[in-house]
Amino acid sequence: MLRLYDTRNREVQPVVPDGARSLRMYTCGPTVYRHAHVGNLRSYLLSDLIRRIAERQRLRVTVCRNITDVGHLVDDTEIDPTGEDKVLAQARAEGRAWQEIARFYEEAFTADTAALNMRPPEHSPRASETIDLMIEMIAELIEKGHAYATPDGSVFFDAASFPSYGEISGNRLDRLKPGHREAVDPRKRFHADWALWKSSDREATWETPWGRGFPGWHIECSAMSLRLLGEHIDVHTGGIDLRFPHHEDERAQSDATAGHEVVRHWVHGEHLLFDGRKMAKSTGNVVLLRDVAEQGLDPLAVRLALMEHRYRQQMNLTWDTLRAADRTLRRWRSRVAEWSESPSAPMPAEPVARIEAALDDDLDTPLALRLLRELDRDESIAPGSRFEAFLHLDQILGLDLPADIGKVRVLPPGAAELLEQRGRARAARDWAAADRLRDELADLGVKVSDTPEGQTWS
């Protein structure tokens, strides 16, 4: 059974109870005002791997990944008194309508996840199209005494009404201090309260019983997850930067509405550095998937490189790392194509079981890849057997390893004649000549392997 590190409980735990037949997972989706960089995409690889492993274990997986296209503050970690919105700010910068901006970057995100072989979620709700769910939830929170409206038409969550606040991040209410960057909003009863609805007459606002405005960032995920996945969610994923305040606030809202713990397991992916620095627009250190393709590298080299580190370990990605991953990817595809020409054979049970066990053990992808390399090099295992194993494991790894099967392979000039000569040398048991001809073929870029059925080449 798949086990993952639960951020709230501080330990590795099975993600579904024994005998469960399904898994429900919510993933905090992108804010669609810019292209996602490879650090952002690492978080979505986490949920994709969870999904693929759960499906291998014959669980019916339902995933919801939202699209934040409105209500997201310029500074994720603090309330912006001007009500500035990232999508609206980008729309002004590009001279386009905010809806056009949102759809453009949403489509770009979808294309990137497809290029990385990430399976699409069952639900992809847009914040702008689910405002009614948020208004309904806010009204319920007010009715239950967990939220309050202010005279200007804003609504705040009453943080003190949720005593277990801080169990995910450790930031307990009694230890939270007022923000140092700006004065505490005088409309709040307590400095740690947060906005569920912001009164405003800017663009992209809606009418509510409290007045015209737009939703707070945190309420979006609570409303969408409860409606589309129900009141019992097995796994909630996201980047480590969302742990506080977003996931703390989201948990408080959802649990206060449902009256019980909604999410069983909170799972977070660590930060990704590039060349030793955090990826940020301000530092000019942002790497997009299209930048990788422009370097002549397969986008799936990014997927492979990210799996070389465990999801909850900080990782430093470099161009050298990506180029090495690209070489490995192309080599494995070539090997799989070569093995496909041999007679099929059952998978080697023990090596495959060890790789699957590594993946089940809190997604130990580095160990799984190390064991896969050992399997690749183990010439005692028949080519057809390794072929079946690599295809089976690729259902989880998602590296498109069968990509080269069936491709027309063209020998370099003179290689066909050398292969014929070597075939005759082997038939005559002239092993010295066969070895010499193998070396000559290697110089031409042709690798020759000897099998019981004869020599093969790649």
The per-residue pLDDT for 281 is: 73
What is the overall mean pLDDT for the chain? 92
The per-residue pLDDT for 78 is: 41
Whether residue 201 is predicted with pLDDT greater than 90 in this model: the reply is no
Question: Hunting for tokens 């015209």 — which residue is that?
Answer: 212
Give residue 84's pLDDT band: very low, low, confident or very high (50, 70, 90): low
Decide the pairing of beta strands 315-317 and 272-274. Answer: parallel
The per-residue pLDDT for 446 is: 87
The per-residue pLDDT for 284 is: 79
420 is in an annotated binding site: no
Q: What whole-number distance in Å separates Cα of residue 238 and Cα of residue 169?
A: 13
Tell me which of 288 and 448 has the higher pLDDT.
288
The per-residue pLDDT for 453 is: 65
Q: Is 132 helix (H, G, I), strand (E, B) or coil?
A: helix
Residue percentage of the chain with pLDDT more than 90: 79
Residues 48-82 have pLDDT tens digits of 999 999 999 999 999 999 999 986 654 444 434 44
The per-residue pLDDT for 368 is: 98
Contacts of 45 (CB under 8 A, 6+ apart): 116, 118, 269, 303, 306, 307, 311
> What domains lie within the chain, and their CATH numbers?
3-269 (3.40.50.620), 274-404 (1.10.730.10), 415-457 (no CATH)
Give DSSP secondary structure letters for 136-204.
HHHHHHHHTTSEEE-TTS-EEE-GGG-TTTTTTTS--GGG----SSSPPPTT-SSTT-EEEEEE--SSS
246 is in an annotated binding site: yes
Candidate from 176-180, 184-188, 242-246 with smallest mean pLDDT: 176-180
Whether residue 181 is predicted with pLDDT greater than 90 in this model: the reply is no
Tell me which of 87 and 364 has the higher pLDDT.
364
Give residue 196's pLDDT band: very low, low, confident or very high (50, 70, 90): very high
Residue percentage of the chain with pLDDT more than 70: 95
Candidate from 32-41, 182-191, 415-424 with smallest mean pLDDT: 182-191
Phi, psi of 25 (to 5 degrees): -135, 135
64 is in an annotated binding site: no
> Is cis: bond before 215, omega within 30 of 0?
no
Read off the pLDDT of each residue in 95-111 and give the average, rounded to a whole number.
95
Residues 209-237 have pLDDT tens digits of 999 999 998 999 999 999 999 999 999 99
The per-residue pLDDT for 403 is: 94
The per-residue pLDDT for 72 is: 62
180 is in an annotated binding site: no
The per-residue pLDDT for 82 is: 47
Candidate from 40-49, 71-80, 188-197, 240-249 with smallest mean pLDDT: 71-80
Residues 390-436 have pLDDT tens digits of 999 999 999 999 999 887 667 788 888 898 899 899 989 999 999 99
The per-residue pLDDT for 162 is: 98
The per-residue pLDDT for 139 is: 98
CA-only gyration radius of the chain, Å: 27
